[in-house]
Amino acid sequence: MKSIPKISETEWEVMRVLWGKSPLAAGEIIEALVAKDQSWHPKTAKTLLNRLVKKRALGYDKEGRAYFYRPLVREADCAMAESESFLDRVFGGSLRPMLAHLVERKKLSPAEIRELKRLLEGKE
Amino acid sequence: MKSIPKISETEWEVMRVLWGKSPLAAGEIIEALVAKDQSWHPKTAKTLLNRLVKKRALGYDKEGRAYFYRPLVREADCAMAESESFLDRVFGGSLRPMLAHLVERKKLSPAEIRELKRLLEGKE
DNA sequence: TACGATAAATTACAGATGTAATCGAAAAGC
DNA sequence: GCTTTTCGATTACATCTGTAATTTATCGTA
């Protein structure tokens, strides 16, 4: 059973790049990050890559000079872990109050509501 | 527009006590925390109370020796803020993938599913 | 082969967090 | 009134995070 390392807010952005496509060299990852958000600094990105490797959320294959990173954990598993932690913390572990809350407070578009309904169709 | 302070994981447990009932004296809060989880240390709880006051998430009325704490922010507002941050980080800001994910991965009970459906009824 | 460009490793540093211990003042008991 | 107990205030300290800069090893080039 591989345990899911705790991934911080900014680390998630890095992971998302690699989940989208991997393996990638550090330079390519940084490019992708900067593309999404101008304010990313290469050095910062490198630090995060190192930390994620240390946490064993990423692995890499080195080819001479360059490292090619790839995820060691699946996005779905991380999402699951985060969801659990979030639900416990904020809504006492239960999905219903959260949905109720979001439906009330966020203005969901009619399209979104139909979408959610469709998701639940067929289930049960 | 009062901004919502960022409340950490353990701080949430403290806040939840006060949201449940307030004002309460430090001692009563600590009692409640220990009741839920034996491993709470009084000193730790006190530290968190201070930090929450500093963050302006809690206020207090002092009556002689004792302080009576009460929330300065509403649970619903904090829940909202956390939800936003969580959705952005993990599911790219959108509710649908999260629901999809939870419906797939967590086995929602039929009762829960009906409940969710009912929630969406009438909306739209 | 020495030199400059690169990429990775190491170091930096402040603020947040988890987890308390210690100090100080006030209240309560002797 | 002096002492002990209590409660709040201050201090401690390691780890995690965000955000980089500096140092070192390496590769291609002159």
Q: What is the CATH number of the domain that holds A34?
A: 1.10.10.10
Is B84:B94 a contact under the CB 8 Å cutoff? Answer: no
Interface ipTM: 0.85
- Does one domain contain both A106 and A63? no
- Does one domain contain both A15 and A66? yes
Contacts of A116 in chain B (CB under 8 A): 95-96, 99, 120
Residue A4 within a domain: no
pLDDT attached to residue A95: 78
Residue B3 within a domain: no
- Does one domain contain both A52 and A16? yes
Q: How far is A6 from chain B (nearest CA, A)?
A: 12
Local confidence band at A98 (pLDDT 50, 70, 90 cut-offs):
confident
Q: Positive or negative, the Cα torsion across B120, A113, B78, A9?
A: positive
Nucleotide nearest to A8 (CA to C1'): D17
Residue A33 within a domain: yes
Q: Which domain holds residue A101?
A: 75-120
Which residue did the predictor score with more confidence, B4 or B112?
A: B4
Q: Which of A79, A85, A103 sits opposite B123 (nearest CB)?
A: A103
Q: What does the alpha-carbon distance between residue A10 and residue A65 come to, in Å, rounded to a whole number?
A: 26
Q: What is the pLDDT of residues B81-120, one digit of tens each?
A: 999 899 999 998 888 888 788 777 776 778 878 888 888 8
Closest CA to A90 of B97, B75, B29: B75
Interface touch B120/A113, C-beta < 8 Å: yes
Q: Which strands make up the sheet holding B24-25, listed edge to edge?
A: B24-25, B66-71, B58-63
Give A 42-101 residues with CB within 8 A of chain B: 76, 78-80, 82-83, 85-86, 89-91, 95-96, 98-101
Nucleotide nearest to A30 (CA to C1'): C7
Count of structural domains within chain B:
2
